[in-house]
Chains A and B, each alone.
Chain A
Amino acid sequence: MKRLFRALFTAGSSRAVPPLVIGFFFLFYIGVAFFTDETLITLMAFTRNSFVLALILALIPLNSVFRLVGETSRFMLMRSTMSGKNKEGLVDIFDEVVEIPVSATVPNLENRLAAVGYKTCRTGNVLAAWRGINSFPVRLFFLVGTFCIFTGILITTTSRSSLREMVVEGEPLPTPDGSGGIVERITLANSSGLILSRNLTMKVTPAVPGSKSREFGLYPPSRYGGAFVYPRYLGLALYLRFTAPDMPAGADTHCFLNVYPPGKEDNVVIPGSPYRVIFSIPEPETGSDRYISYMSDTITFGFKLLKGNDVLFSGSVPGGGEFVRDGFRLALPDVRRLVVTDLIYDNGVLFIWWSALLFCVAAALWLPIRVFSPRREMLFRFDHGVMTACSLAEGRSRKHAGVFHEMLDMIDAGKAGEE
């Protein structure tokens, strides 16, 4: 049983697992590409619906966990070996292991090692020497990052669900259970950030009396009732009143207009009539912000009135105002800002964000360590007339090997004490 577990652990913690799994999905991708142009979406849908594919993808985070355990136990083993407590499995943890018969006790190599920049520690019949910074923490960051990103991808692919809703000023936040507070105000303002040029804020009054009101911004999106509130596009909600010579009673209607960016057209069909109004927001004057109308809440619509496919006339009407001509009357008593918002139920996003952070930390640490101060270690153990010398280098291995060989020559020549 123990051997079986060891074999499973060895297979599960193999460095070959991620390239094999990625290679498998790549092949699958190529296969799907023969049949559809929506290759990635199709592959994601397959993975979502297939337990086997999800299981194969799960091998990567599992492998990361196994490797984390393996790396940690190897690090612990190395520490206990360097402190003289362990003398087993040296071949597995060092690059080079060599045994030299000697007649004396451990010779004095410390001075020479110190002269070439190594720190030393003698414990009984063991002399350990090292220099540089161990990259173990970096590997930990990297492996945890790998775990996070593939766990995130797995969760996102298999369980993400989203709901597109219109968040309108003065209306309740449209949550599936209807428990959202009232959207008190939507604000769009210019931002001086490095990435974002505008800030969007949706202020929501508390749904439960006594709790605090909340503000939802752009990035990172906040969560509400377990869903990320992900603002997508801007729009306007209208209350429209229309009368025409052939329909003196008129008609009232509520509608959502997707008219941003300025210039984009959206149309409203007047219920129970052949009339249709095509709205747009005119481009602002040169030098003004394109979204100034949305920011300032001073909105003037350009419109075309159509009867069937015939354009009757066009004009402009301000929000809160009206347009009257030839017996036609178009009034917009209520115009409100809205944000087309996706409510995303997906816990994988958090893992992906964490992975980005961990990879950044790992890269920021690895590069200077690898370039300026890679870890190099030596161990000399004297046991019953045999000197076991071990060496390991994470970088600058040629120079380190030179020092190691020099130490071995000194031991062999018995010169160590004279140095």
Chain B
Amino acid sequence: MVALKLIPHLLSWAGILLVLLRGYSERRSVVMKTSITGFTGGVAGAIILFRTFPETIPFGSIKTALAVSFFLLWVFSVAAVYSSTARRVPISRRGRFVNTSLCAGAVAFLAGMVAGAICTCRFPATASNTLTFIVLVLAAGALAYALVFCVRIIERLLPPSFTVSPSGMLIAVVAFLLFSSSSILRLDLFSPLSMKVMKGIHDFVHQFMESILIPDHLFVRSVVWKYIGILFSKGVGFWGGMVIWFTPAFLIVLAVNFERLPSVAHIRQGAQRRKLLAAAIKARRHRLVIPLLSVVILAAAAYQSSFPSTEYWDPKPIPISANQSGEIIIPKKGEVNLEDGKLHKYLFKQGDREARFFIMVTPEGQLTVDLDACAICKPDGYGQAEGSVICYYCKTLIPLETVGKPGGCNPVPVVFSVKGDNVAINGMTLINTWGSTVQATTRVKEGGK
């Protein structure tokens, strides 16, 4: 079953290989060798990291590599548009360097390495026994070998006029890597990006309105304020994230589209001029295929990120009440086993006020009691999956190791004590903590001031 789950990741790597083989059509052997070496190195390196360090380090490293590649993609796409719209573009050393064996090898190696590391995140590396693990690696290796064989055949079947520009190669490589990582919750970039964009836009709009002295909402028409409110809504994060996600691909499409046609003014035969221009336009259209295909792959990655197939552990909150001294007492091992590593939600009501919280034991064995809400987002609550809890509002993943620590989108910790085999929480403290943090965030997120 795990081997089947590896197929999309291996296909992504195969896609990368195919694009690189076509992009570096004169350096096929270098690309092939370095890519396979990189992939194997990535798998081995990630296994070592997972076996040596806590999970946050390998996941963090791979995610950082993906983020850096996405940032580089942005830089290159802006540079590509800049170059193609400049009046005079000197033939740069950069262009010559891109076509060297060194560059081809480096790109193929790095892309292969990250692709291999992403694949490894699918292995149950720490949980499985050695034999299962070896069988799995062998099965994955066989699959990879078969794919490499197919890629070589497909690449040879492509027409020679089908070329790939350097920026086209880059967008395809990054798109495949992002697609591959989007199915692994802790490597996904799109959801955290959307969340950061949402917060960034909230900040920016607020500061902008203050900067240009826009009157407060009580003076503004409610219809107008509703439009401004869109900028404070949850959707703005998703759509802003989409803009950032797809812009590099569209910039590269534009860059290819803006490429100047060759000067044919010196040719006096009209037919020859037209033939040359037609050939240049055809080549330009071919160079558009890969960036446009990358848009589709990026869309698939964004979809996979927005609608993950992962099912979150999200138990219905258990209603609970305080004793006469105002304390909520929950046994560690009663109807619910609080030490089973899962989060357990409770709902505490006092008069017309209520508070939702959860109790869990972190991987380090620390018991923690937290509000089912953070200090930033609307209190949509948390679910648990793959070594983390997720904030349903902004889709931020909080590693289990950091649950119980305050700040950012972490669940707000609640003061508690352990009395024998019970967990004791002060009901008033709980209600007040909920009131002071959660209700404030609700107002802010609904566009109020």
Contact = CB atoms under 8 A, between A and B. Distances in A.
B204 A40 contact: yes
Given A40-B203, A219-B214, A409-B270, A19 B86 contact: no
A359 interface: no
Nearest to B207: A40
Interface string B193-225: 000100110011001000111111011111010
B93 interface: no
A322 B163 CA distance: 87
Interface residues of A, number: 52
Contact of B268 (A16, A92, A221, A408): A408
A405 B273 contact: yes
A220 interface: yes
A384 B216 CA distance: 72
B265 A231 contact: no
Contact of B220 (A15, A197, A234): A197
Interface string A114-143: 000000000000000000000000000000
Contact of A220 (B87, B213, B218, B220): B213
Given A197-B220, A412-B268, A23 B207 contact: no
Interface residues of B, number: 35
Contacts of A349: 211-213
A352 B211 contact: yes
Contact of B218 (A16, A95, A198, A404): A198
B221 A404 contact: no
B265 A408 contact: yes
A195 B87 CA distance: 43
B222 A197 contact: yes
Contacts of A291: 218
A339 to B, nearest CB: 11
Given A41-B203, A405-B273, A16 B215 contact: no
B221 A195 contact: yes
B218 A196 contact: no
A198 B82 CA distance: 47
Interface string B251-283: 000000000100111101010010000000000
B211 A96 contact: no
A98 B266 contact: yes
**Interface hub of B87, B222, B273 (most chain A Cβ within 10 A):** B87
24 contacts: A15-B86, A37-B376, A37-B407, A37-B408, A40-B203, A41-B203, A44-B207, A91-B88, A95-B87, A96-B263, A98-B263, A98-B266, A196-B215, A198-B219, A221-B213, A228-B213, A230-B213, A234-B218, A261-B218, A344-B213, A352-B212, A391-B265, A405-B265, A412-B268
Given A353-B212, A401-B265, 9 more contacts: A40-B203, A44-B207, A194-B221, A198-B219, A228-B213, A232-B216, A260-B218, A349-B213, A409-B268
